[in-house]
Amino acid sequence: MSEIRLERQDEYRWLIPVEGNMRVPGLIYASEEMVRGLTGDESPRQVANVAELPGIVRYSLAMPDIHWGYGFPIGGVAAFNREEGVVSPGGVGYDINCGCRLVATKLSFDDIRERVRDLVSALLRNVPTGVGSTGSIKLSGQEERAVLEQGARWAVKNGYGSVEDLDMMEDGGCLPGADPECISDRAMKRGKEQLGTLGSGNHFLEIEVVDEIFDEEAARVFGLFIGQVAVMIHSGSRGLGYQVCDDYLARMVKGIGSLGFELPDRQLACTYLSSSLAREYLAAMACAANYAWANRQLLMHWTEETFEKTLAASPRDVGMRLVYDVCHNIAKMEDFPLEEGMTTLCVHRKGATRAFPPGHEALCRRYRSIGQPVLIPGDMGTGSYVLAGTDKAFRETFGSACHGAGRTMSRNQAMKTSRGRSIGQEMAKRGVIVMAAGKTTLQEELPEAYKDVNEVVEVVHRAGLAKKVARLRAVGCIKG
């Protein structure tokens, strides 16, 4: 861990004391076994590096799915005040607003038990997947700008879903302040033909079944029941978001010398929140975030059509309904209680999920009594969890929880581990039908490449950052 010293605070919190140029301590949420697994990993060093950035508030945080990332660790959370703080694209990530949405149905597993393979095959045909994939929607320049400004609202206006869907999305599926003028021509070009596409790598569309319920009241409010068929969609802003990150990192790297302090890592290139460059980046980032919300809205639409056609069922019989949509990679201005009172902070969540508590005004009426749905997907052989945000998360982690299981192997390591194996056949024996567009995707994404999501979620639950509501098991999955 690059000589990083961890001091145990309690069963699930580990402190990195202030040393060198750190302005605040680091704090990692993990079990003892997970901490042992960080030996030789650079992610704790990244937590300490983030703590050197000006204007950081309280702690540099990391969730139990922590692993090495670009600049910030994946699973990293950091909040900065507006007067002295910075914004860093490395604290958001290349896939801006990579996120998850959970879609519930009226179907039970018995309704699809014999049709899972048919559904997975049809989804792979109907949902564009893979590197550089393009969709059936070809945007004009004017239409693309509308997507960047309106997000999921654009999709709903154009017949993809209902107005009720917008209530079930973080920020209503549209981040304010988006300005297409801050997007490069190259980014616009990359986004024109990729709307409504899943992408590659760890992105997926998964058929799941509600397997266990931990909180009956919360599950009822979220509309979940044992044996229910649901769909988890994991995708982001595609090439457009990647290009936005790349463009602004290049501009910020050029300005490193004028920051007035020494960066511990060039990957933490940043700019002061008070600067015009910060305003431009946040406006461009909002555009990419909105593109991602529109993208997931279209993916849900293709999924609904596929279910209805494959099962020869009516929309009423399938009954697809958006439970919630959360983003993972984002920087947002949010208000939190500090010693001096409610304060607006720029919260970076890099591979972390917002977990707002009951009563928060950002939540729709339906969920306000329970707390925000927190969606935690696992590896393709396991399934996912639904949790609810808590007051403790709001006080301790700026309303944040983990975003998934977190990798333990690089893709190269996973390829070596899976050599000579048929991952698809292995998954089928475990009761999961998996299909992918890419030749090596299943090898790169084998279950052993990830931490055990059950253990990760248990840390979040026991640490009080989010409470478990339901567990879903995977039965079918498509990947790029």
Residues 160 and 292: their CA atoms lie apart, in Å, by 14
* 40: amino acid identity, one letter: G
* 194: amino acid identity, one letter: Q
From the candidates 67, 234, 348, 403, give the one annotated as an active-site residue.
403
Task: Using the structure block, give the residue that is written with the tokens 């999955």.
Answer: 477
Report CA 381 to chain centroid distance, whole Å: 19
Helix crossing, 116-126 with 276-311: angle to 10°?
Answer: 130
Cβ–Cβ under 8 Å, residues 106 and 315: no
Residues 471 and 17: their CA atoms lie apart, in Å, by 36
The tokens for 400 are 């944040």
Task: Using the structure block, give the residue that is written with the tokens 């993972």.
Answer: 328
The tokens for 355 are 């977990």
Which residues fall within 8 angstroms of residue 82, CB to CB, at 6 or more apart?
273, 274, 333, 344, 345, 346
Cβ–Cβ under 8 Å, residues 373 and 89: no
In what side-by-side order are the strands of the sheet with 60-67? 7-8, 13-16, 26-29, 60-67, 74-81, 341-350, 330-338
**Residue 117: other Cβ atoms inside 10 A:** 12
Residues 25 and 23: their CA atoms lie apart, in Å, by 7
301 is catalytic: no
Positions marked catalytic: 403
